[in-house]
Structure 1
Amino acid sequence: MNCIKAATLFKGSFCLYIFLLAIWITKFLNVTAEKLPPASQFVSLPSSGIFQPIEISPSVLPTYPFPGKNLPPMYPSIPKTYKPVLTGRCPFNFSSISNIMDKTASDCSQLIAPLVGNVICCPQFGSSLHIFQGHYTKDSDSLVLQNTTADDCFLDIVEVLASRGANSSVPAMCSFKSSNLTGGSCPVKDINTFEKTVNSSKLLDACSIIDPLKECCRSVCQPAIMEAAFKISSSQSLVSENTDTGLSTHMDVLNDCKGVVYSWLSRKLPSEAADSSFRILSACKVNKVCPLEFKQPVEVIKACRNVSASGPSCCSSLNSYIGGVQRQMLITNRQAILCASFLGSMLRKGGVLTDIYELCDVDLKDFSLQAYGENEGCLLRSLPADVVYDNSSGFSFTCDLSDNIAAPWPSSSSMTSFSLCAPEMFTALHYQNQRRIPWAAMGFFWIFL
């Protein structure tokens, strides 16, 4: 009753809607929490440096207050009546890769895509393009599509995904074009020449089944793909109109040839196996770079340059700065380490030599989007993960919350020698939390923060 009285005071104002939405979310959030038992207080990182999930029987919190009734969905269901308007010029039966298209549409759903693009959506979209290319060319001698056909099919792919709930701006967001299906400037585009040039059995053995815990630091598939791409890119002399741009031209050819290698693998592997392999390779790539944008932390440097003990002005300035950074997107635990180290190096360059992360209690999860307004940063797993959808709870993310893991303060202002595969990164963790966060919680606080 008190809630109703309070809401009545705001009647007719915008505050009423925010107030009621906050109450609704508080009542209906469905959170699954998983914790290590107290006996396992410390866990060592595996030799690959990737945080592993902890599988413990979940408990559901909070309890739904109206037993016997269905839990309202957190997000509108995926459209089922929208019919894609296809070009009619792409001769391909998309039902042959329906599972891949469904997964891509879910991972790149309309409102979620901008928040998970770097880690979930774009890697899955890229994988779906490779798999489409392999399936399209499976019954021909070619490993690529002709330019006109690629244009038509690319439009159809986007339209089919949009009809299943995907964001139609994903190609621009992820920097993919129809030319990614054509092989570009790669000199080898037919399967006969490819298999004569490349050690195909070695390539298939290396990439059929990839160990997600080893590939990023002790690569097997990645060097095999690079070797194959280099061989087909060097199969004939490359002539550049401008010798000054010869190096960049060869790099472009090498990247185009990698697309041809992916197409060949897509022809040889089952769709799910290919998707798993391609996603792991993408995870290795995205987890090497912090995707966040940092403006110069001028105010933080000014407030913290000479601090030697925890001070209100320094910590307030630092928390305010990080609060602006964390609104950008969801990031993985490994990306959080890089982002924290990058910001730390910027601060050290500005003259802040004291570990202000420790002084101000800054954790890794503080660099990712916050779930419940504050102190609930969702760190996504560094291993490939998907957005989960069901009719009762809507869209949700599997978060890898490493509670009380302090953000690493760099030993110098340089990031040149930093490596997530270095032995010093294999430190002991406090217990890991793994939660599934419904999209509604993330969306509400992302919009109104």
Structure 2
Amino acid sequence: MDCCHTLSHLKGSLCCQLLLFFIWLSSFQDAVASETVFEQSHVPIMPELAKPPSTGIFGPIEISPAVIPHYPDPDEPFPPMYPTFPTRYEPVLTGQCPVNFSAMSSIIEKTASDCSQPLAALVGNVICCPQFNSLMRIFQGLYSLNNSAKLVLQNSVASDCFTDIISILASRGANSTIATLCSVKSSNLTGGSCPVRDVDTFEKTVNTSRLLEACTAVDPLKECCRPICQPAIMDAALQISGKQLVLDDNENLVGELNHIDTPSDCKGVVFAYLSRKLPSDVVNTAFRILSACKVNKVCPLDFKQPLEVIKACRNVAAPSPSCCSSLNTYIAGIQKQMLITNRQAIICATMFGSLLRKGGVMTNIYELCDVDLKDFSIQAYGQQGCLLRSLPADVMFDNSTGFSFTCDLSDNIAAPWPSSSSMSSVSLCGPEMSLPALPTSETFKNPGCRGGGQQLLVTIISFLVLGSLLY
């Protein structure tokens, strides 16, 4: 996208070749990386977020756009987010939740950092909401372990405990709208329509030895492509969802028999059982990996119909200033939404290309206009994109640098142009995966991409680049 900045010699570098090699291994772990350090005066509130898919082995991870303010005037600067350094205070609790929260203090601190007030919306899809969902499951297991043989909470207790959790997180610097942002409610702790709600019945119904063995040590590089824990959770959920329900002493469950997704509710019970049996750090790692498998399968960005791009690029066969200018303007709008992972960027680029092909753009305008994977995420300095790792990551905080996290794929890896207008699923597993080829020659920089000093790539973040190779 940076059509005036000559970086093409890097595209054939050993660094890029190593990067693609590791992508082909589905690891995305050993890549050129840079540490992103956010400064108080440069981190804006994001104007809009899209909802990622609500299906998957882990519960819904949905980002609500309702909590993000909209700014109709694109020429106005985005207001800064405060505070950069969170203010800690003692939360006011309901006193009705029978759980010692200090027993899960480390997970609470991690969640508060990942969902920090300045960055929660920015990293919600990949970092904040997966960790918040994991915290809720771990709490459910802790409640079961300390208070009863039940794997779910009654509605009134769930409401009180949920309120306390949100208050504790906010007191440690987390965004107070985290529940709305991640579409999580207190009812997620109640088991919904799942007929099995206690430990004894669960252990009589499910092969718990197999379940625990499958999910005790989840491999972050293998689970998403050759899953072991995910099918074990699904099998357990299906087994308990078919269990005959005894209604003699619980009339409240009668109305829940018509719930349309009992297996999904039962997966929540399975998560609670795992949280009861496994150490919190072990189960948190497992749940985060399962979330990563889900969010990296679908592009979370919101693509509006690219009518202007289609009009300008439909008949081009060579670099066109008007086409590239229109494309840059459209992508600049996309870059205001959120930070995405390197795998999500591949899917997003393919999805957007499919929209263009469907509108009649047959030429690979990504190549003509020098569009890279990093162009589909938040930009810094108008030219440096940040893609998050596909593996689970956390927001880091200290008093000297503030909030930071690691960016991957900071080099110019060409965005993949789809082979057809039909958007089929993009596989990033094993030999069937399809990735863009590494450019080997000087890419022609279209002078129409930027002119007269105008920057079409919107500067969103200011960060300090600490170039390094991570092994």
Question: TM-score if structure 2 supplies the norm length?
Answer: 0.76
Whether 1:273 and 2:282 are equivalent positions in the alignment is yes
Which whole-Å deviations, capped at 9, do the CAs of 1:21-70 have from their partners, x for residues lacking one?
xxxxxxxxxxxxxx9996555221356524123489x9999xxxxxxxxx
Q: Quick check: 1:118–1:286 contact (8 Å CA) kept in 2?
A: yes
Contact conserved, 2:384 with 2:410, CA < 8 A, in 1? no
Are the counterparts in 1 of residues 196 and 245 from structure 2 also a CA contact under 8 Å?
no
1:182 corresponds to which of 170, 183, 190: 190
- SS at structure 2 position matched to 1:194: helix
Counterpart contact for 1:345–1:410, Cα < 8 Å = yes
Residue in 2 aligned with 1:255? Answer: 264
Greater RCO (Cα-Cα under 8 Å, separation 6 or more):
2
Deviations 1:298-336 (A, max 9, x none): 000000000000100000000100000111000000111
1:143 to 134, 140, 151: 151
Cα distance change of structure 1 residues 207 and 37 upon mapping to structure 2, 3 Å threshold: farther
Cα distance change on mapping 1:59 and 1:106 into 2, 3 Å? closer
Match of 1:408 in 2: 416
Q: Aligned equivalents of 1:129 and 1:309: distance in 2?
A: 53
In the alignment, which of 308, 311, 317 is matched to residue 320 of structure 2? 311
Question: In the alignment, which of 6, 14, 17 is matched to residue 42 of structure 1?
Answer: 17
Cα RMSD over matched residues?
2.7
* Identity within the alignment, %: 64
Task: List runs of 5+ in structure 2 lacking aligned partners.
Answer: 1-9, 38-81, 248-256, 440-458, 464-471
Q: Look up the match of 1:173.
A: 181
Distance in 2 (alpha carbons) for counterparts of 1:237 and 1:129: 25
For 1:94 and 1:53, the matched residues in 2 are separated by: 36
- Looking at structure 1, the residues matched to 218 and 271 of structure 2 have their Cα atoms a distance apart, in angstroms, of 14
TM alignment of 1:5-154, pairs within 5 A = 42-43=17-18, 44-45=21-22, 49-54=26-31, 76-80=84-88, 82-139=89-146, 140-154=148-162
Q: Secondary structure at the match of 2:397?
A: strand
Structure 1 residues 168, 355: closer, same or farther in 2, change over 3 A? same
| Alignment match of 2:235 (pick from 215, 227, 231) | 227
Give how far 1:419 is off.
1.9
SS in 2 for 1:330: coil
Cα 1:46/1:444, change in 2 over 3 Å: closer
1:111 deviation in Å?
A: 1.6
The answer to whether 1:196 aligns with 2:171 is no
1-structure distance, mates of 2:246, 2:23? 44
For residues 108 and 260 of structure 2, what CA distance do their matches in structure 1 show?
Answer: 30
The TM-score normalised by the length of structure 1 is 0.79
Counterpart check, 1:213 vs 2:221: yes
Name the amino acid aligned to 2:189. Answer: L
Counterpart of 1:125 in structure 2: which amino acid?
Answer: F
Q: Counterparts of 1:37 and 1:354 in 2: how far apart (Å)?
A: 24
Q: 1:403 deviation in Å?
A: 1.1
Contact 1:197 1:231 in 2 (8 A): yes
Unaligned 5+ residue runs, structure 1?
1-34, 62-73, 240-247, 432-440
Report what 2:371 is aligned to.
362
Q: SS at 2:197's partner residue?
A: coil
Tell me the equivalent position of 2:405.
Answer: 397
Q: Tell me the amino acid that sits aligned with residue 123 of structure 1.
A: P
CA distance in 2, matches of 1:409, 1:192: 53
Give the structure 2 partner of residue 346 of structure 1: 355
Give 1:397 shift.
Answer: 1.7
The residue type paired with residue 373 of structure 2 is: L
Structure 1 stretches of 4+ with a deviation exceeding 4 A read: 35-41, 58-61, 248-251, 426-431, 441-445
Contact 1:210 1:221 in 2 (8 A): yes
Q: Give the counterpart letter for 1:160 in structure 2.
A: I
Task: Judge which range, 87-96 or 277-286, deviates more.
Answer: 87-96
Give yes or no for the alignment of 1:286 onto 2:295: yes
Q: Deviations over 1:92-133 (max 9, x none)?
A: 111100000000000001120010000000000000000001
Distance 1:357 1:207 in 2: 41
Figure out how many residues of one structure are paired with residues of the other and give that number.
379
Task: Tell me, yes or no, if the aligned pair for 2:339 and 2:388 is still in contact at 8 Å.
Answer: yes
Aligned counterpart, 2:306? 297
Question: Any idea what SS the aligned residue of 2:403 has?
Answer: strand
Answer 1 or 2: which has greater helix percent. Answer: 1
Q: How far off its partner does 1:173 sit? A: 0.9
